[in-house]
């Protein structure tokens, strides 16, 4: 089974809310989607880990749906800090089994893999949180000693990148609680996130973890301890393709050149 991981499209129908977002975000998002649609063999699913749009308007999500239209496989999305819950739920309610609560958590399955999507959005803030309700929801589905292969999706990574300024704006509430759940789970576990705008992989509490890059803007690799954000960098966009088989996973990097 093949699942691609993308993130942080930041598409907008009018003008960007974030000054760093490139003005042709729609064009580059379409280029990434075209590459996903043409991938051979056919991908079984796509994980899109937040900041789907830059301002979260109904018009932004209508544009996003048009951009994603060439993808015939399931697309699993979670909200990022630039998304809006009500508009996102309305846009994807016909294809994703959102929980009945105000948070956009949901569980689904593909092949033999359990997919758990988490809502880490704090309205009006850049950092993220797993509220007690979401942690209880997750604990019921990642029980201590559980052995079923699982994929967890969220926007704000609970695992550090080492880029100090960006890690401070990642998951700032619920991190120790999710760390315990991950540590006590015994099955193959993969955690995919976004938000950092730089692709990287990590091992965290025994789980394989990764952040996908962003075609809207990319941060430079800057591991010197400093409170300052890294500068932007012009690099080919990279997304990951996960090959799941018999509880094992292989990860491949796919490059998309955004500028001619």
User: What are the pLDDT digits (tens) for 37-81?
Assistant: 999 999 999 999 999 999 999 999 999 999 999 999 999 999 999
The tally of domains found in the chain comes to 1
Distances in whole angstroms, Cα of residue 150 to Cα of each of 46, 105, 115 = 15, 15, 6
Confidence of residue 225 (pLDDT cuts 50, 70, 90): confident
Task: Identify each DSSP E strand in the chain by its residue range.
Answer: 2-6, 45-49, 75-78, 106-110, 113-117, 128-129, 150-153, 171-173, 189-193, 200-204, 207-211, 237-245, 248-256
Highest mean pLDDT among 112-116, 223-227, 235-239: 112-116
pLDDT band at 180 (very low <50, low <70, confident <90, very high): very high
Task: Decide if pLDDT at 84 tops 80.
Answer: yes
Tell me what pLDDT residue 229 has: 81
Domain that holds residue 136: 2-256
The CATH number given to whatever domain includes residue 85 is 3.60.21.10
pLDDT at 259: 85
pTM of the model: 0.96
- Per cent of the chain over pLDDT 90 is 88
- What angle do helix axes 58-68 and 25-38 make, rounded to 10 degrees? 30
């Amino acid at each position: 089974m093949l699942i691609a991981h993308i993130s942080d499209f930041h598409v907008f129908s009018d003008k960007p809310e974030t000054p760093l977002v490139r003005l042709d975000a729609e064009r580059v998002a379409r280029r990434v989607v075209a590459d996903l649609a043409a991938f051979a063999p056919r991908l079984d699913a796509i994980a899109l880990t937040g900041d789907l749009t830059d301002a979260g308007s109904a018009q932004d999500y209508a544009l996003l749906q048009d951009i994603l239209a060439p993808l015939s496989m399931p697309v699993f999305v979670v909200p990022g800090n630039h998304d809006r819950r009500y508009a996102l739920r309305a846009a994807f309610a016909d294809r994703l089994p959102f929980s009945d609560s105000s948070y956009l958590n949901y569980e689904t399955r593909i092949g033999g893999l359990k997919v758990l999507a988490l809502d880490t959005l704090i309205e009006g803030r850049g950092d993220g949180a797993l509220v007690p309700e979401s942690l209880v929801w997750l604990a019921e589905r990642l029980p201590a000693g559980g052995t079923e292969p699982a994929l967890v999706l969220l926007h704000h990574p609970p695992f550090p990148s080492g880029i100090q300024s960006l890690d401070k704006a990642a998951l700032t509430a619920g991190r120790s609680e999710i760390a315990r759940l991950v540590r006590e789970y015994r099955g193959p576990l993969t955690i995919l996130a976004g938000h950092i705008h730089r692709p990287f992989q990590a091992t965290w509490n025994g789980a394989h973890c990764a952040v996908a890059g962003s075609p809207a803007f990319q941060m430079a690799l800057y591991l010197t301890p400093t409170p300052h954000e890294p500068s932007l960098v012009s690099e080919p966009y990279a997304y990951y393709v996960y090959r799941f088989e018999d509880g094992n996973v292989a990860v491949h990097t796919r490059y998309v050149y955004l500028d001619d």
